[in-house]
Each structure stands twice: as C-alpha cells, then as structure tokens.
Amino acid sequence: MDFGDHTVVDSALLRGRGLTQRQIERLVANGHLHRVEQGLFTTRKPEGLLLLQALCHRRPNLVFTGRTALELRRDQPLTLPVQALVPRGRSSNSTPLLQLRRRKEPRFRQVRGLRLALPAVSVADADDLPDGELIAYLESEFAGHQGKRQLEAEVACMPRVPGRFRALVSRASIGADSEAERQVARALSARGLRVEQNVLLGGYYFDILLPTARVIVEIDGFRYHSAERRETFVRDRWKANYATRHGYRVLRYSGSCVRHHPEEIVAQVVAAVEGLAEELDTESTPVWEWHDILTGQPPVNAEMAQ
C-alpha cells in the first residue's frame, strides 16, 4: 500500500484507508510498516530523526534533552532510550524507546524541526555521560567572547542547578577561543587560581584574567604571528599598554609555548600571581637556550598553535 509522503502513520490513518487490524499486522510482519509503539508506525526502520518525529507524533510538546540533545547537536547516532522533557500536567510514562521527565515550561530551541532543550540544560540532564565529555561540550558550546554571558543566561532559566553541573562548569574553560587557551586556563584553575576568560577591559578582549592579582595572560597562535599585519601590531601594543596603564600585568605566550612548555607557563603565571621574588629557571636563562622551538626541536602541533 502506498502511504504517499507519510513516513509516520498511526492506526487511525490506516483504518481510515480501510485497513483491518489483521492487515496492519501483516504489513508489519512483511516489513512494510515498522511498529514504534502501540498504534504508531513508520514506513521505514525508525532510526535517527524519523524515530524522534514518530515519538513527537502523539507528543507534540516533547523537548529532547540530555544525551539525546547533545547527540543531535553533534550529528551523532542516537543512543536509546532517547531522553526528553514534557510540561507538568502531561503524562511522563516512559517506554523502551523514550525516557521522560516532567519540567515546568521547558525552554527550547528548534533544531531540524525538533525541540531541543537549551545546551546548558541538556548538559545538566545528561546524567549518564562522563564528566570529560560534558566538559568538552561546554567548552565548545560556550566558546568565544559571548560564551560566559550565554552560559549565565541559560543557567538563569534552570529551576534548579544540580551540584554536578556546577562542578562541571567550575572545571570547564568557558569563553576560550582556542585549545591552547583552554589548556592554560585549566592548568591554572587546577592550581586553585580564580580564572576568567575572554574578559572585556576598556574595549579590548583579553584571553585570560586572574582578577585577584590583576594578571592578564595572552595566548597568540603561530598563524597569528606569521600573518601579523601593521594594524594588528599597533592594536595589540595599545591593548597591552591600556592594561598596564590601568594596573594590570600582561604575560604573553605563543601557541607553540603552550605546546612545548605548558608547565613553564603555569609556573611563571603562578609566580606572578603570588608575587614571588626569586627568579625561575626560565627567567635566569635566556629563552633561546631552552625553548624547544628556538633550539631546533620538532615543529609545533598546528592544532594547538591556533
């Protein structure tokens, strides 16, 4: 039987076409229909988007969250059961394919015709995913100048902020533009320092700020240096001058420094924050005598040097 453009069909539509229950069961047995749940079918195997569309057929208020929302945003295969929210007052009965939670007026964004919970909410609901995966997602989703502000806006929409989510955010490098920045920020946070990223000061964005000590850390990629133009050169000098003039100390490193000497970077930043007077080994010896790039060690990792 030709179902036209319908890839999701229910018993009412089938009976409207004159099919008996026995005929419907025969279509299922022959592989012409695939049962999703009682009285609901698809005309091909219910996987991926088609499965989600079928689940929404009787539940138009579904908002996918948790692992499912993250997989959809990353174009990954779906793990079953899929996870979703329904408004209070709606049935939250789960099925082998669908795990439901009630949530008062869940906020969402439309993605490929489906309602997905806000990214921060999805992370908070992803109870079954490991910390490392969720931290990586937070860092990717909330990167750049507006990352911190966007995250704060989404967290403000949560009726309750789970303790695990707070811990994930505290360990994540929110607002970074590159993996090199994230690596340095994580290392400084692990040393117990309060770290802010992509901070706006006087019209300029700075990569990393340690506010208590008024220390700024700037990470420049290899491509940045190789393509530095007059405009960039002038802008960054005045940017650093602004910070210095307003009482900040600016430490600058390249992506290759992060790739080859991350521990030395952290040691120097910590020394600046703690006001240590004693010189470090990297300070008592000229850089061309110990930096791998300047002593002819293997080339930098291109990805890290962004």
Mean pLDDT of 16-35: 92
pLDDT one-digit tens code per residue, 46-82: 999 999 999 999 999 999 999 999 999 999 999 999 9
In this model, does residue 306 exceed pLDDT 60?
Answer: no
Spell out the domains of the chain, with CATH numbers in brackets.
8-46 (no CATH), 56-171 (no CATH), 179-289 (3.40.960.10)
pLDDT one-digit tens code per residue, 188-211: 999 999 999 989 899 898 999 999
Residue 110: its H or E element: strand 108-111
pLDDT band at 266 (very low <50, low <70, confident <90, very high): very high
pLDDT band at 233 (very low <50, low <70, confident <90, very high): confident
pLDDT one-digit tens code per residue, 81-105: 999 999 988 888 899 999 999 998 8
What pLDDT, on a 0 to 100 scale, did the predictor assign at position 90? 81
Q: Whole-prediction pTM value?
A: 0.75
Distance CA 222, CA 33 (A): 56
Residues composing the chain: 306
Long-range contacts of 148-157 (CB under 8 A, 24+ apart): 148/174, 148/175, 148/196, 148/197, 148/198, 151/120, 154/118, 154/119, 154/120, 154/121, 155/120, 157/107, 157/118, 157/121
